[in-house]
Amino acid sequence: MRRYIKPKYVALTGALLMTSALVGCSPSPVPTEKTVIRPTTSASTSATPPESVRFCAMEKNGEVVRVPEKDCIQTETRTVQSSSGGGMSPVFWYFMGSMMSGNGGGTHNYYSSAPAYGAPLVGGSRNMPNVGNTTIYNAPAPGQSMQSATVVSRAYGYTAPAAATASKTGSTPATTTPSARGGFGSTGSSHAAGG
């Protein structure tokens, strides 16, 4: 009889949205107890965890920006909320920022582990190594466009795609002739793709 052992996934507790998984780094050792890896700054490595404060994203002057919950205007059609101070992956933020900028629609309420507003991470550099020196922090700073989320980071071997230009940053485009876009996705607006 085969035993089904614990998945060797450090991110079981930070899993989906763990930034370290997206920086091309080696997986962290399997924890023997629950471990949540959070982004930290040099100024905060020994400090308390980031404050857990909800934030939302809302449209402001034509851009979608991240604001503390108290400033969130819920009448806006697109909101993102966070309930904890963990890290989100650049992939997630790219998708989210892209949705916010008009590909989605309707109201979005995401109770996810996005970084806390006001945490030290967002004040200065947003390339934040974690304790394993591998994690980058990649959410938009307060007041900055959601589209800016993934622009910032290029660290530790990972080349983050720019939010508006998800691509192999640093390499030369194969052509300067613009591509046509929008030819996929029409069915997805009225159906759930997953099953």
Partner 1 sequence: MKRLSITPRENWREELEELGFIWHSPDGAYWDENACYEFSPAQVEQLETATNDVFELFVEAADRIVSSDELLADYGFSDEVNQMIKDAWNRDVPALQYGRFDFGYDGVNPPKVFEFNCDTPTSLYEAAVVQWNWKEDVFPMADQFNSIHDRFVARWKELKVHLPDDLYFTAFGEETGEEIATTTYLAELAVEAGFTCYPILVNDIGWNEELGRFTDMAEHPIDAMYKLYPWEWLVVEEFGKHIPKCADQMFWMEPIYKMLWSNKRILVHLWEMFPNHPNLLPAYYDKRDLTRYVTKPILGREGANVTIFDKGHVRDRSSLSHPEDGQLIYQQLYDLPLTDGGYPIIGSWVVGGESAGIGIREASLITDNKARFIPHIMR
- By CB under 8 A, what part of segment 90-149 binds partner 1? 90-92, 94-96, 98-99, 103-104, 106-108, 110-113
From the CB of residue 90, how many other CB atoms can be counted at a distance below 10 Å?
26
- Quick check: 29 binds partner 1 (CB under 8 A)? no
Cα–Cα dist 92/76, whole Å: 21
Q: How far apart are alpha carbons 50 and 44 in whole angstroms?
A: 9
Q: Which stretch binds partner 1 (CB under 8 A): 41-49, 54-62, 66-74, 80-88?
A: 80-88
The answer to whether 194 contacts partner 1 (rule: CB under 8 A) is yes
Cβ at position 179, least distance to partner 1 in Å:
3
C-beta of 18 vs 65, nearer to partner 1: 18
Does residue 152 belong to the site contacting partner 1 (CB under 8 A)?
A: no
Cα four-point dihedral sign 101, 105, 109, 112: negative
Nearer to partner 1, 42 or 176 (CB): 176
Confirm if 58 and 100 have CB atoms less than 8 A apart: no
Answer positive or negative: Cα dihedral of 112, 118, 124, 130: negative
Q: Binders of partner 1 among 154-173, rule CB under 8 A?
A: 158-159, 161-162, 164-169, 171, 173
Angstrom distance (rounded) from CA 100 to CA 79 = 8
Residue 37 in contact with partner 1, rule: CB under 8 A? no
48 lies in the site for partner 1, by CB under 8 A: no
Q: Is 34 one of the binding residues for partner 1 (CB under 8 A)? A: yes
**Quick check: 182 binds partner 1 (CB under 8 A)?**
yes
Q: Which amino acid type is present at position 105? A: G
The distance of closest approach from Cβ of residue 125 to partner 1 in the complex, given in angstroms and rounded to an integer, is 22
Q: For residue 144, give every residue at least 6 positions away whose Cβ sits within 8 Å of its Cβ, in sequence order, or none.
A: 65, 66
Contact 132, 25 (CB under 8 A): yes
Find the shortest distance in angstroms from Cβ 55 to partner 1: 14
Question: Does residue number 53 form part of the binding site for partner 1 (CB under 8 A)?
Answer: no
